Amino acid sequence: MRTRFAPSPTGPLHLGHAFSALVAYDMAHAAEGEFLLRIEDIDTSRARPAWEAQIYEDLQWLGLDWPRPVLRQSENMAAYESALDRLWQAGLLYPCSCNRRDILEAMSAPQEGATLPMGPDGLIYPGTCRDTPRAPGTDRPRDSALRLDMRRAVAQRLFAYTETGAGPGGETGLITVTPDQLIQHVGDVVLSRRDMGTSYHLSVVMDDAAQGITHVTRGADLFEATAIHVVLQDLLDLPTPLYHHHRLIRDEAGKRLAKRDDARALATYRDQDLQPADIRSMLGLPSTAGSQGL
Ligand code: GLU
């Protein structure tokens, strides 16, 4: 059993991150498995070395440890590039030059007050660039975003995975994802952003497989994105791990904690002389990884 915590170094870790890291760590401990840390820093416009340094400090303070060296996604671009090449050669990607305004305009002027179709990756792409002709045998373009052609990718197949936690609607156990759900409610997601040369979805799937992760532990906000991840695992011949989505930590108003929420940053609690056991107790977790009540 091997699980991981995969933060992005774009701000201070807060109580929600602590919960995610501790749930994963405790699960690994209970199963006599392994807990890995991975730094998800593909968004170089937002990732900062100082935040990364603080991640290590905060997690150590919480009492966690993990094998070194830590995988940093910014150092693993070659792996994402070769996956993109493979999907491109298979004819499953297409270049897209639409910006957000183009997408909104193409979404046939919705009635006032009507909600726009949103998927796990934002607005569901209306397909504007999908049928732009591509010369066969050409190289993958580097200067535009690349989208997955979901219709071709799913080819009428059914996808499934096992959820050992729960999605936002209590979804658990064997989760099936139908072609219709993927085409209508997920759509042609971006796998390579123009400014990044990859995407969260592609990198996370590649790295979970490369690191031999058997249990993906993360917040329920990423439950819907798992549908994209199982499709990519299928296309790239990667194993599908078990998924364990946990509840989200919210503030008094019921709002999900955000990176800018300094009041709940672990560093703030540390400065106030709180102890890791206090953090565990605030989160409703047992006082140490090995204690009863897990
Ligand atoms: N890097 C992602 C985040 O900070 C988590 C990715 C994952 O656990 O799949 O939200």
Cα angle 29-165-257, degrees, rounded to a multiple of 5: 90
* pLDDT band with cut points at 50, 70 and 90 for residue 2: very high
Top mutation candidate among 17, 204, 244 for ligand 1, by most atoms within 8 Å of CB = 204
pLDDT tens for each residue of 135-181: 778 889 989 999 999 999 999 999 999 999 999 999 999 999 999 99
Cα angle 238-39-174, degrees, rounded to a multiple of 5: 40
Distance 222 CA to ligand 1 centre (A): 8
Distance CA(281)–CA(237), nearest Å, equals 41
Question: For residue 294, what are its two tokens?
Answer: 């897990």
Cα angle 220-199-144, degrees, rounded to a multiple of 5: 145
Residues 10 and 259 sit within 8 Å (Cβ to Cβ): yes
pTM of this structure: 0.94
- Report the nearest atom of ligand 1 relative to the CA of 208: 9
| Residue 189: closest CA among 271, 251, 61, 103 | 103
pLDDT tens for each residue of 72-93: 999 999 999 999 999 999 999 9
CATH number corresponding to 2-283: 3.40.50.620
Residues 266 and 56 sit within 8 Å (Cβ to Cβ): no
69 by Cβ neighbours in 10 Å (0-12 / 13-18 / 19+) ranks as: exposed
pLDDT tens for each residue of 213-240: 999 999 999 999 999 999 999 999 999 9
